[in-house]
Amino acid sequence: MEHVPEYTSLLVLRGDPAGGGASLLGDLRAAMAGLGEADRQALREPVFFEGRAENLRGVGAPRMPFTVLEDGQDGQPAWVRWAGKMLRDPRNTGRTAVLERFATALEQTTVAVTLGRVRLLVVGQRRIAHGRTALGPQKGLADGTRRWIMQAKATVDPAAPAHQALAGAAAGRRNDA
């Protein structure tokens, strides 16, 4: 998408009673730094695909194909667009070797975190890749006992009323000093 939300959050209302579904968190920038310049250059090319983008609101038009690595003004990665599903997308045939090298580098930075009931995870999507391990065995679980998570995505909008109020309050504090 043109405007991928900067943050995603998971609120665990009920953890997996079978003990699975750990959240996986990987440092996209550290993984990118572990690649050679030739791989980083290949990932800057707008030739990659992942999934479909239909009926989404507030995120702009689909960017397909897209670059995996988008540099910022300081030469550092500003955005690393990544999804493990890219490895299996047939439109990326011929480019899977560089994607696999990145996936391996990302795996080296990944930690697993098991979130229990009423835990909230907020992730900056420009820095952290997120996923989960498989749920534990679900057969035989009683209704109303399975894992239940709410997800929300957000981005900073300086024109939003809340940000305007915060900016005004900060300006007032500076003038009081």
User: DSSP letters along 35-74, please?
Assistant: S-HHHHHHHTSS-B--S---S--SS-S---SB-SEEE-TT
55 lies in which domain range? 7-176
| CA proximity to 51, closest of 90, 78, 79 | 90
For each of the chain's 177 residues, which pLDDT tens digit applies? 667 788 999 999 999 999 999 999 999 999 999 999 999 999 999 999 987 666 666 776 777 899 999 887 777 777 898 988 999 999 999 999 999 999 999 999 999 999 989 999 999 988 999 999 999 999 999 888 999 999 998 887 777 776 666 666 666 665 555
Beta strand pairing status for 23-27 and 111-113? antiparallel
Question: Does the model's pTM come out above 0.85?
Answer: no
Query: Do residues 148 and 14 make contact, with C-beta atoms less than 8 angstroms apart?
Result: yes
Residue that is written with structure tokens 């498989």 in the block: 134
Residue 58's identity, in one-letter code, is G
99 lies in a domain?
Answer: yes
Total domains present in the chain = 1
27 lies in a domain?
Answer: yes
> CATH number of the domain that 123 lies in?
3.60.130.10
